[in-house]
Amino acid sequence: MGIEFQELFSWMRRRKIFATLLVVCTLGIGIVIGTLISGHAQATHDQTATGATLLAVPDPITLSNAFSTISKKLGPAVVNISTTQVMEKPKGGKTPKKFGDPFQDFFDRFFDAPDNSPDAERSLGSGVIVDKKGFILTNDHVIDQATKIQVALDGDSTKYNGRVIGFDKDTDLAVIKIDADRELPVAKLGNSDGVQVGDWVLAIGSPFGLNSTVTAGIISAKDRSNVGHQFQRFIQTDAAINPGNSGGPLVNMAGEVIGINTAIYTGSRGFEGVGFALPSTTVINVYNQLITNGKVTRGSIGITFQEDRSNNRVLMKELGVPYGIVVEAVEPGSPADKAGLQPGDVITNINGQPVHSGADLVNPIAETVIGQSVQVRYVRNKQAKEVALTVADRSKIFPQVAQAAEDQPDQSDTPGQFGLHVEELTPDLSRKLGMSKITGVVVTEVEPASFAEDVDFARGDVITEINHVPINKLSDYKAEMGKLHPGQDVLFKVARHSDSDRVLTLFLAGAVPTMLAQ
């Protein structure tokens, strides 16, 4: 046996490479056999008592990432806009009083009767940042008559107060601004003239308050009129647009904003496959005027027409023109009146360009600088004529129908110091409130859309401390409130009578507002 081992060892020394390969192969075969046996045992183990095989999570697979790439790029520039509008309540609606109860007025005021202070209506919408300094495009109807505008950025818990730079009722566009302590991400606006029916698009916004929602669809139609106002010609899309999407961007596959989502056709208030976005070419023109002048000025020559009636082929034949817009009225004293245009004239060209639609007539005139002229070719009694007209301000020619700039509600700081109104807490009042052992001031009114409402004050609360300083009387309250300055953190210790007839100790805190919307 020893001799055989020595011979084997001698043989291995003479053939080192071959021997090494032999050992490696032997080990490899052993590992494979062990793995198969182990795998079989594991498979047997993975089958449960019911005979079912346990599921395993596969490795993630990356498919087409075009949508996700655009969403990641544009998402940070899309914001959520929440607004509050304060409305006065109608008078009346009193609760019947208990006869002979001298304190009923007090209980009516704090517990039983409805609050007769102004009401607040809240709404949600979207917007898109187009300037790193905080300028945001949105719809006018999102911020219309808002007392307070708050803007939430993607991934940022801070709510920024927004102020209105300008708005345009005719296109339903508005520009607001927020002041942040950094440069903000922006979205690039593209040229909507390049989009085609059938192109893929994404709609980004906050439908029903669900931030950073992305939906996909295609361009269903272009230049869609007779949906909104005279100066609204929409891009139609079947990308899901719902309440809350208003003011958000419609984005092409190059990651450019080619529209601002504005409206939907629906019978149920929800999405039914027909949404409308204002084209970026219109948006850019309106935005530039709003940030420059705070308003939009449009030119006019002072005529009235109805596009649908001008599409009548029989009418066009009888008037001796293949196409055009029929003038139905001429405003006295307008450029058209001074140039001799009359009802029944058919305008066929503006600045050498054919007029096939109302937009072909209105847009070049509206975009002309006030005081400059346009060349108008028209047909009267089947005879062609041409005249130069000086463009005037549309709002002055048609003051009765001009969408006058509506004053925004006063949004200066409230006389009650951040919307909080208080009175001295007398011993008799504290006893009736069930807080006889508590000193402080009682809250008599909390104004809607105010800092006090934001931190959750309620009528009947008793403020006992401000920033850890005891409040024993009204003068203490005024002294401590007078020390507060914008941006400072403030803590209120409050006693509140609960529904279960217990007195709760609450701590209400927030940062004193640095700026209110305006």
Residues marked as catalytic = 141, 172, 246
Which of 302, 298, 305 minimizes the C-alpha distance to 389? 302
Which of 170, 122, 174 minimizes the C-alpha distance to 147? 122
Which of 74, 175, 72, 87 minimizes the C-alpha distance to 133? 175
Which of 240, 234, 249, 233 minimizes the C-alpha distance to 218? 240
Which two tokens mark 483?
């020390």
DSSP SS3 for 439: coil
Whether the CA torsion 54, 59, 60, 61 is positive or negative: it is: negative
* 417 Cβ contact list (under 8 Å, min separation 6): 481
Are the beta carbons of 235 and 279 closer than 8 angstroms?
Answer: yes
DSSP 309-323: HHT-HHHHHHHT-SS
- CA dihedral (198, 202, 208, 211) in degrees, to 10, reads 180
Which of 341, 435, 346 minimizes the C-alpha distance to 383? 346
Pairwise CA distance, residues 474 & 247, whole Å: 45
Start-to-end CA distance of the chain, whole Å, equals: 104
What element of type H or E holds 61? Answer: none
Pairwise CA distance, residues 108 & 110, whole Å: 6
Which two tokens mark 94?
């009193």
Q: What type of residue sits at position 155? A: G
